[in-house]
Amino acid sequence: MLVSILKRAGIKLTLNDPRWGRKPEGDNKAQEGKRPGEGPPDLEQMWRDFNARLNRLFGQKNKGGGGDSGGPGYGGEMKGAGFTVGAAAAIVALIWLASGAFIVQEGQAGVVTTFGELSHTTTPGFNWRWPYPFQAHETVNVSQVRTAEIGYRSNVKNKRPQEALMLTDDENIIDIQFAVQYTLKNPVDWLFNNRDQDETVRQVAETSIREVVGKSKMDFVLYEGREKVANDVQMLMQTIVDRYALGAQITNVTMQGVQPPEQVQSSFDDAVRAGQDRERAKNEGQAYANDVIPRARGNASRLLQEAEAYRSMVTENATGNASRFDQVVAAYAKAPGVTRDRMYVDTMQQIFSSTTKVMIDSRANNNMLYLPLDKLMQQVAANDAQVGSKSGPVQVPGTGQPAEVTQALEAVRQRDERSRDSSRDRETR
């Protein structure tokens, strides 16, 4: 500090000064004829020049008369020099005290130490402490979200195999990259309880993920268990950090990449595809079974019911036939002829009702007419029903016959007339 003030006053303390060892102005004549540098500089002259420059610097005037060292001028000079040195010391003291002022930004906390020992913490704003060497301070950003990367650096492709490769519970190796985000909740613990805080957090994260993965299956970590693994790692990290009194708060654990090692990636993909094909085949088989089995059970139940109905029908028919036979036997015993004729008529009625009717006429020239009357009557009835459903009232049978039926009936009438005429001719002859 003193050297800087002397430099500002333009005073150079150097042994190469040509005035070094010179006497006062009264001896200037004795110094005449000497070249610069031949003798040592005059200390008294240097002191007077120094005081004069300090007085000019601080607005003081030299009240000395320029006498000898023992005169009153010398005493005034010494008094002025003492005042000047005191002012300079006061200014230096003010500057030294002002060096203890510091500002703490919002979101930060200040930690003040006295001779290296914790003194107190400060709040955001203007603060003051004792200057060096008594006290020192350090600001800590407590609102910043810090990130620790495990298994990679800056980019997922920039892997760290020694951190990323881990062993699962089923003795498989898995490659994991994840990031841990944390903030500071206690700046004092963060500064004084651990030496390398960021590295400590990274080691805690690696330890936690290895413990959680070591207790889990490979498929669980790869697929459905990623979120659970991240939550378990976060809770375990917070427990260890609190045990270490690190002063950090774990806010989030994000899985960046979870995959098998690169050396077996292709084989693992083949195994995964085979597993997916197996699951698809199982699902298709289950769907086919769900479709076929209920249908087969329904068919079996239907067949059982049909068999039961057929059995009941056959049993009832047999019972009914046996009862009817007993009745017929009793009636036959009373009137054999009548019963026999009645049985014949019933049988013929049953036969004719289920067979096709044919009209045959071979009296005229051995010609035969084939006419299925039952089919024609069924057709006529079907046409009448269709016409009645469309027009409303039901028509009388025979009033609206089709053309082919009419033609067939007309042919029959003509043939009957011819046969009657021929029969009359034979009778008249």
DSSP string for 292-355: HHHHHHHHHHHHHHHHHHHHHHHHHHHHHHHHHHHHHHHHHHH-HHHHHHHHHHHHHHHHHHTS
Give, in order, the Cα–Cα distances in Å from 317 to each of 240, 312, 314, 354: 91, 9, 5, 20
Q: Range with the lowest mean pLDDT among 3-12, 135-144, 225-234?
A: 3-12
pTM of the predicted model as reported, rounded to 2 decimal places: 0.47
Query: For the residues 408-419, what does the mean pLDDT come to?
Result: 64
Give, in order, the Cα–Cα distances in Å from 326 to each of 318, 346, 350: 12, 17, 21
Give the pLDDT score at 403. 60
Query: For the residues 186-196, what does the mean pLDDT come to?
Result: 84
pLDDT at 33 over 50: no
Give the pLDDT confidence of 223-234 residue by residue, as tens digits. Answer: 888 889 999 999
Interatomic CA distance for residues 92 and 50, integer angstroms? 19
Residue 15 pLDDT level (bands cut at 50, 70, 90): very low
Q: Cis (ω within 30 of 0) for the bond into 133?
A: yes
Q: Whose CA is closest to 237, among 167, 148, 129, 141?
A: 148
Give the pLDDT score at 366. 53
Interatomic CA distance for residues 348 and 342, integer angstroms? 10
Do the beta carbons of residue 61 and residue 13 sit within 8 Å? no
Q: Residue 421: which residues within 8 A CB-CB, separation 6 or more? A: none
Highest mean pLDDT: which range of 85-94, 299-308, 377-386: 299-308
Do the beta carbons of residue 182 and residue 266 sit within 8 Å? no
Interatomic CA distance for residues 312 and 107, integer angstroms? 95
The mean predicted confidence, pLDDT, of the chain is 75
Interatomic CA distance for residues 48 and 65, integer angstroms? 11
Give the pLDDT confidence of 396-412 residue by residue, as tens digits. Answer: 444 444 565 566 666 66
Query: For the residues 122-151, what does the mean pLDDT come to?
Result: 83
Q: Range with the lowest mean pLDDT among 116-120, 234-238, 248-252, 312-316?
A: 116-120
Highest mean pLDDT: which range of 58-67, 72-81, 130-139: 130-139
Q: Whose CA is closest to 170, among 237, 253, 260, 255?
A: 260
Do the beta carbons of residue 159 and residue 147 sit within 8 Å? no
What DSSP character marks residue 119?
Answer: E
Do the beta carbons of residue 151 and residue 178 sit within 8 Å? yes
Three-class secondary structure of residue 184 per DSSP? strand
The CATH fold of domain 146-260 = Tetrahydropterin Synthase; Chain A (3.30.479)
Percent of the chain clearing pLDDT 70 (strictly above): 68
Give the pLDDT score at 142. 82
Query: For the residues 297-323, what does the mean pLDDT come to?
Result: 93
Interatomic CA distance for residues 168 and 259, integer angstroms? 12
Three-class secondary structure of residue 251 per DSSP? strand
pLDDT at 144 over 70: yes
Give the pLDDT confidence of 198-229 residue by residue, as tens digits. Answer: 899 999 999 999 999 988 888 888 888 888 99
pLDDT at 186 over 70: yes
Q: Range with the lowest mean pLDDT among 72-76, 110-114, 227-231, 285-289?
A: 72-76
Interatomic CA distance for residues 85 and 113, integer angstroms? 33
Give the pLDDT confidence of 320-368 residue by residue, as tens digits. Answer: 989 988 888 888 888 888 888 888 888 888 887 777 666 665 565 555 5
* Higher-confidence position of 350 and 60: 350
Residue 395 pLDDT level (bands cut at 50, 70, 90): very low
Query: For the residues 370-377, what does the mean pLDDT come to?
Result: 62
Give the pLDDT score at 352. 78
**Vertex 149: Cα angle to 147 and 154 (nearest 5):** 95
Give the pLDDT score at 423. 53
Give, in order, the Cα–Cα distances in Å from 176 to each of 12, 153, 155, 179: 68, 13, 13, 10
pLDDT at 132 over 60: yes
Query: For the residues 150-158, what does the mean pLDDT come to?
Result: 82
Residue 69 pLDDT level (bands cut at 50, 70, 90): very low
Interatomic CA distance for residues 391 and 407, integer angstroms? 25
